[in-house]
Amino acid sequence: MTRKPAEIENRLAALRHKRGFSAAELAKAAGVSRQTIYAMEAGSYVPNTAVALKLARALEACVEDLFALPEDFTVRELRTDLVTLLAGAEGPQPGQPVELCRVDRRTIAVVPSPVPWYFPSSDAVVTSAPAGSAKAQVQVFHGEETGNRILIAGCDPGISVLARHIRAAGIELVLAHRNSSQALGLLKEGSVHIAGTHLRDEASGESNIPEIGRVFPRHSVAVISFAVWEEGVVTARGNPKQIRGVEDFARPDVTMVNREAGAGSRILLDTWLKRLGIDRRNVRGYGHTAQGHLPAAWHVLSQAADCCIATRAAARLFGLSFIPLVSERYDLAIRRHHLNLPAIQTLLDTLSRSSFRQELESLGGYDTRVAGERLL
């Protein structure tokens, strides 16, 4: 179920003028951009809970004084349509995403390929890369300005959804696929704007904050929540080997595919193996790795492995079975001196947009109620 932003009545502009605040002053108090204030006042943008509370505090009002549902408000059910599945591929499973296209009088549903079978977009080609050097010569195709780009390292495929939504504002996300530990390392050396991470502290059960505190000096990094996701055991469709959990990874008839060292999924697996008293040497496939949630799930789909540790969304994308192990937060770590960059502000604003949240949650296993909340 969704709610259109226009269905929220707001008196933000009237109360702001009454209190004598400029848009810039109120934006600073709420921790958002001036453009976001104007968007909220126009009714095209609905703030998350944290921003609404900050606005109310700054204006010495209640949230209900600023935003309210109309008396005739009704929750709109998502529309259900009957469509035609494109022939020539295995039928999708319930929950699996499809793309829709109108062809004459029919609506055709196509299961999108999780593997990009096309040439990726690029700006240049490498002409010289000396062995062992961190520098390379490149031949640039065109002279496009790259100042509207944000470089983000991480392993969550859901960032691609954010990239699509932020593109409408003229901002490009350049996605570098790295595991959580690698992403934080790149942020520490100043090579990326944002590091995505899901490293769970076993002692406290807290996601990311303890590890970030160990890697970075105090107050040098801001942490913004992206979503809470489910991570667990991905098995073949229908779970033909009746795998119940990590305890079955030690069975001689079960082969897994692991994640690389430093990945949050591998750390989660090691934690469970230790808890269950299972020697990793008794786990078939422990030394065979895949670089990411989707590549790991692909190994299961292609029958190269019986199982892996990945997110529910990865399992759902391939129509595979899923056994949940843990819900954890995926966060975005940002150097504080980058927070005021216009492109970063646009990204943070996008996290609170209902259209972005709805699409990410539709993938399955994502809870976006925390999206955009500043944790550190």
Q: How many beta carbons lie within 10 A of that of residue 116, not counting itself?
A: 8
pLDDT tens digits along 48-90: 788 888 898 899 888 888 888 776 656 556 678 888 887 776 7
Percent helix, strand, coil in the chain, to 5, is 35, 25, 45
**171 Cβ partners below 8 Å, 6+ apart?**
148, 149, 150, 343, 346, 347
Mean pLDDT of the chain: 87
Q: Give residue 72's pLDDT.
A: 62
Answer yes or no: pTM beyond 0.75: no
Domain boundary among 40, 68, 96: 68
Domain end call among 24, 44, 68? 68
In a domain, 126, yes or no: no
Report the pLDDT value the prediction gives residue 74, as an integer from 0 to 100. 61
Banded pLDDT at 200 (limits 50, 70, 90): confident
Least confident of 65-74, 91-100, 171-180, 308-317: 65-74
Helix, strand, or coil here: 98?
coil
Of 53-62, 319-328, 332-341, which range is least confident?
53-62
| Of 302 and 135, more confident | 302
pLDDT at residue 245 in the model? 96
**Per the domain annotation, does 82 fall within a domain?**
no
- Mean of the pLDDT values across residues 236-265? 96
Q: Is residue 142 part of a domain?
A: no
The pLDDT score that the predictor gives to residue 360 is: 93
Residue 323 reports pLDDT greater than 90: yes
250 lies in a domain? yes
Q: Write down which residue in 19, 51, 68 finishes a domain.
A: 68
Domain membership of residue 311 as a residue range: 150-376
Band of pLDDT at residue 143, cut at 50, 70 and 90: low
DSSP strand pairing (137-140 vs 256-259)? unpaired
Residue 261: is its pLDDT beyond 70? Answer: yes
Residues 63 and 162 in one domain: no
Query: What pLDDT sits at residue 71?
Result: 65
Residue 244 in domain: yes
Is there a single domain that holds both residue 39 and residue 168?
no
In this structure, the answer to whether residues 54 and 154 fall within a common structural domain is no
Give yes or no: residues 197 and 339 share one domain: yes
Q: Are 161 and 356 in contact (CB under 8 A)?
A: yes
Q: Give the bridge partners for 126, in sequence order.
A: 138
Confidence bin at 6 (pLDDT 50/70/90): very low
pLDDT of residue 298: 95
- In the predicted model, is pLDDT for residue 370 greater than 60? yes
* Model confidence band, residue 3 (pLDDT cutoffs 50, 70, 90): very low
The CATH number of the domain holding residue 296 is 3.40.190.290
Please return the burial class of 172, using the count of CB atoms within 10 Å of its CB with bins 0-12, 13-18 and 19+. middle
Q: Residue 364 domain-assigned?
A: yes
Residue 25 sits in the same domain as residue 162? no
Q: What does the DSSP 8-state code read for residue 2?
A: B
Same domain, 22 and 169: no
CB-based contacts of 192: which residues, under 8 Å, 6+ apart?
A: 151, 152, 153, 176, 183, 186
Q: What pLDDT shows up at residue 111?
A: 79
What's the token pair of residue 15? 């109360």
Q: Are residues 300 and 169 in the same domain?
A: yes
Same domain, 204 and 348: yes
Both 193 and 301 in one domain: the answer is yes
**Tens digit of pLDDT for each residue in 263-306?**
999 999 999 999 999 999 999 999 999 999 999 999 999 999 99
Q: What is the average per-residue pLDDT within 112-141? A: 78
Residue 140 is assigned to a structural domain of this protein: no
The more confident residue out of 162 and 48 is 162
Number of domains in the chain: 2
User: Is 175 in the same domain as 311?
Assistant: yes
Q: 87 in a domain, yes or no? A: no
Q: What is the DSSP letter of 363?
A: T
Q: What is the pLDDT of residues 8-45, one digit of tens each?
A: 778 898 888 888 888 888 988 888 888 788 878 877 67
Q: Residue 92: what pLDDT?
A: 80
CATH (domain of 34): 1.10.260.40
From its phi and psi, is residue 116 left (phi > 0), alpha (psi between -120 and 50) or beta? beta
